[in-house]
Amino acid sequence: MKTIVSGTALQSIAKRPRTITTESYMKDAFANYAGYLNELNEKRERVVKSSRDITINSKKVIFQVHRISRDNKEEVLKKAEADLEAVKDQYISRLVKELQGTDFWKLRRAYSPGVQEYVEAATFCKFCRTGTLLDLEELNAGLLPLSDPAIEPLQINVFDYLLGLADLTGELMRLAIGRISDGELEFAEKICRFSRDIYRELTLVVPLMDNNSDMKTKMDTMLQSVLKIENACLSVHVRGSEYTLLGSSDPSFLMGVPDMQS
């Protein structure tokens, strides 16, 4: 009997250190997880702030481009391009430093809105300068100098590029209406062809995208923008004889501009 009690006591004593060790290990593990999550949440807040700054200043670039006219094109574009470079150097660079060395996809939702707005501003400037599309490879090449060569660089992913490109057509629609009102009909027709090309190509790509709900919504808006540009250009052609006979220097009456800008 004494032997049995002694054996039970020994087993109890032997188990106790294991329990303490296990509890200590669990506490340490949860402390590490808590520290990691707190750090990740703080980083996310900083990334959201950087994204917001990129959005605000990219919008300013877009507003600057909309001041363009046949008389001030070079001046306006130089100012817009300088402002866009400042967005990259001051705000994109801050985002790059915050994200480099981390899993970019984990925080994508936090910085995606700012990146989309930057893509929209950069492609808008490029079109007004050259009449061509700024592709993803060229866009990312401009960001490489911001990253540490020893660490994986932050690159704009294809999803954010396409989402920003979809937003571009809204700005092109406003630009086209403004150019028609200013008598630059050829430029407006060029915008119309460019917008149609973008929409046509995206209709082929979007069905192949995973998690494309955001893109589908933007495609509906994009179609409306393309139709407004087409209707505006068509109105000028169809009623061009009236415009010529009246001798007006303001062709905006041909289209019902208030409705087009809504």
* Sign of the torsion formed by the C-alpha atoms of 199, 202, 207 and 209: negative
Helical ranges in 88-239 per DSSP H: 93-99, 108-130, 136-141, 158-181, 185-205, 213-238
Closest alpha carbon to 139 in 124, 119, 120: 119
Using one digit for the tens of pLDDT, what is the confidence trace for 181-202?
888 889 999 999 999 999 999 9
Closest alpha carbon to 90 in 64, 118, 112: 118
Distance CA 231, CA 242 (A): 17
Q: Are 77 and 128 in contact (CB under 8 A)?
A: yes
Burial class (CB in 10 A: 0-12, 13-18, 19+), 58: buried
Q: What torsion do the CA atoms of 168, 67, 191, 185 make, to the nearest 10 degrees?
A: 160
Distance CA 85, CA 142 (A): 10
pLDDT for position 246: 46
pLDDT for position 33: 81
Q: Are 168 and 198 in contact (CB under 8 A)?
A: yes
pLDDT for position 132: 95
Q: Are 146 and 50 in contact (CB under 8 A)?
A: no
pLDDT for position 241: 53
pLDDT for position 245: 44
Closest alpha carbon to 117 in 172, 47, 165, 85: 165
pLDDT for position 19: 53
pLDDT lower than 70: segments of the chain: 1-22, 240-262
Which one-letter amino acid corresponds to residue 193?
A: R
Distance CA 105, CA 75 (A): 39
Residues 40-50 as b or e (16 or more Cβ within 10 Å = b)? eeebbebbbbb
pLDDT for position 118: 97
- Give Cβ neighbours of residue 5 (< 8 Å, ≥ 6 apart): none
pLDDT for position 11: 54
Distance CA 149, CA 143 (A): 12
Q: Are 85 and 125 in contact (CB under 8 A)?
A: no
